Each structure stands twice: as structure tokens, then as C-alpha cells.
A and B are shown apart, each in its own frame.
Chain A
């Protein structure tokens, strides 16, 4: 059981380039999320999805787009990368509420540097 898998793990982009980060989960979770983690700012929500074919904006959505064409995959796109998007990106998923509450399962992150 792989859980949540993020690819790539590392990437260096030049300003203006585009890229897509892939998140795949094999737990049949309904909800999926993209966060970015920056020093001193914690984890901030970029976009999220409550089911296949749905997406919604989070706290810091500008400069990013997402798609959830299949339940198990959640893609994060940067159309024109900027140095301010240098960060560590985490994908997470969760199931519907179960006994004892619920929690996120995180991937191991993608470290993106924009130069």
C-alpha cells in the first residue's frame, strides 16, 4: 500500500517555465489537497478537491491550477513559474469521516526551486 505518491521529488525551473506536479493515492480517498510549506509560514492550502471532477480554491491559489480527472490523481500546474513559487509542495488525501474522526495522509513532498 503506497499511500500518497508525489512526483517529481525535486525540480528546478527557470522563471516563466511551466510544469505539472502529480499526486496519486491508492486509498480510494474522496478528498485531496495541495499545500505549500515555507519557513515561518507553515502549511498553506493552495487548492483542494472533494471528489472526482471537482476543484476549489484554497488560501493561496494565484498562479496555480489543478485538475482531478480521476479519483486517484490530483494534478497541480504552474503555468508560468515565478521565484515566489519556490517552496516545498505537499499533496494530502483523506477519507470521509470514520470512527474516531479523520486525518490527512501526506505525500513526501516536491521541492521546487524557481530561478
Chain B
């Protein structure tokens, strides 16, 4: 069973601050995805990273895939209240084909 551990579980910050969320595993993943989920809705895909060391930017969000493809991070610059939500990382194992394993999520609250 592949496990993904996210940290921190909860994060409450003020508008304008920077933050980083981590996603770690002892397993190697062929790709890793980040989703954001708002209350009462399903998760929405933010990004997919597939190459070790890959960095992708989405406006104020920066995603990095570890060189060994076992971990990932999400960095948000100058957080805004609209960034509030549950952030989930999910990995596709090298042998699990189309199935994703999800982390437990990081609940981010950005206070105005």
C-alpha cells in the first residue's frame, strides 16, 4: 500500500503571508497531482507533475516534484482569502496504473 503524508494538516495564516505544504512518501510515483477542494464540492485538479525535479507555476502557486519522485511541495506566495480550501496531493504509482492514492489533505484558512 502506497501512503502519502501531508503536512501540516491545518494551517491558518493572514492575508499576504507565504506558506508551503508538503507531501511525502517512501514510494516512488510516476506522477503526482495537486487538487483543491472547497466545502460541498469535489476536488479540482490544480497541476500534474511527472518528471523528477520538475517545477510548475500557476500564478502565485509553485509546485515541485522531488528528484526521486517520492515527494512534492506546494508553495503559495502572498496568500489571499480566496486560497482558502482543502489541498490534496495524489500520486499515481508506477505499478498501480490509473489509480491515485490521496494524502489526507491540508486545510488552509487565509484570514483577511
Instruction: Please give the residue numbers on chain A whose beta carbons come within 8 Å of chain B beta carbons, in ascending order.
Output: 4, 31, 33, 35, 40-45, 48, 50, 58-59, 90, 92, 94, 100-109
Contact = CB atoms under 8 A, between A and B. Distances in A.
Q: Quick one: which of B31, B33, B41, B102 has the most chain A CB within 10 A? A: B102
Query: In which size bucket is the chain B interface?
Result: 20 to 34
Nearest to B89: A42
A59 B93 CA distance: 14
Contacts of A58: 99
Nearest to A58: B99
Contact of A43 (B1, B97, B102): B102
B104 interface: yes
Given A40-B104, A42-B105, A105 B45 contact: yes
A82 to B, nearest CB: 23
A50 B105 contact: no
Given A94-B98, A105-B45, A108-B42, A42 B31 contact: no
Nearest to A105: B45
B31 A101 contact: yes
Q: What are the nearest 5 A-B pairs in CB distance? A: A106-B42, A101-B48, A103-B45, A42-B104, A43-B102
B48 A103 contact: yes
Interface string B15-44: 000000000000000010101000011111
B100 interface: yes
A4 B105 CA distance: 22
